[in-house]
Structure 1
Amino acid sequence: MAKILVVENDAGNANVLHLELTEQLHRVKTINDAALLEKMIDQFHPELIVMDILLDQCDGRQLCFDLKRSVKTAHIPILLITAMLESQIYTVPIVADKVMLKPFDYDELARTVNSLLATS
């Protein structure tokens, strides 16, 4: 299946996402430090990035904006996930391919991932 990079600073959430995505037969790498994002993209060549908005040192929305602005990474679909209230999410422009609110249904996660991979 596809290579998926998960960017999530909460170890518990990262483990659950890793488990769910590997059960769907995807190859999954997880990082908990946004500073490692560019290096991991260069090494792993993900076909999809699943990223939390609320990261320790930065905002996933800004990281997403930077990735979409770069010729090198603009083609990679990005699924932003968050526990924020929906009204708070859009206070910063969103260029992600999809946003999902936590907690989410794992069947919905699978459908969303498959949809994003099919359109990339």
Structure 2
Amino acid sequence: MKKVLIIEEDLNISEIFHLVLSDHFCVKILHNTNNAYGEIEKFRPDLLLLDHWLGKAKLAALINKLKNDNRFRKIPVIISSTDDTVTHVAEQLRADSCLPKPFDLDDLLNLVRKHLEQG
């Protein structure tokens, strides 16, 4: 079963992510970026879903570290945000895609599936 690691500060949104995705994937949720890289090393996710509001600098550092690590550079990274510039932010941070909030539940599942099928 494919693994999805979600880093989302909003408990309600993380619960929605879990409810939608856990029937199809093994899902783990973190609520901050503290020790995120260590969790990635242990969990070995096939996809990351990151909340933009965790902080652009923290996300940039995490994504750069992943993209420069041969073990993890091919893991798709999706950034979710209520910010209407999320597409631009995702491009700046070298994420593979973005998920604007609010989102349709089917769009969430389809986006995750699309990226996991490509990998």
User: In which range does the TM-score fall when normalised by the shorter chain?
Assistant: 0.7 to 0.9
Letter in 1 for 2:104: D
Q: Separation in 2 of the partners of 1:14 and 1:54?
A: 13
Pairing 1:45-60 to 2, within 5 Å after superposition? 45-55=44-54, 58-60=57-59
TM-score scaled by structure 1? 0.86
Residues 57-92 of structure 1: CA deviation (Å, up to 9, x unaligned): 954344223322222321111111111122784397
Q: Alpha carbons of 1:51 and 1:90: their partners in 2 closer, same or farther (altered >3 Å)?
A: closer
**Structure 1 regions of 5+ residues with no counterpart?**
none
Distance, in Å, in 1 between the alignment partners of 2:81 and 2:90 is 14
Distance 2:55 2:43 in 1: 23
Structure 2: give runs of 5+ residues left out of the alignment. none
- Count, aligned residues: 119
The root-mean-square deviation of aligned C-alpha atoms, in Å, is 2.3
Q: 1:91 to 1:33 in 2, by over 3 A?
A: closer
Percent identical: 26
* Residue identity in the other structure for 1:81: S
Structure 2 partner of 1:21: 21
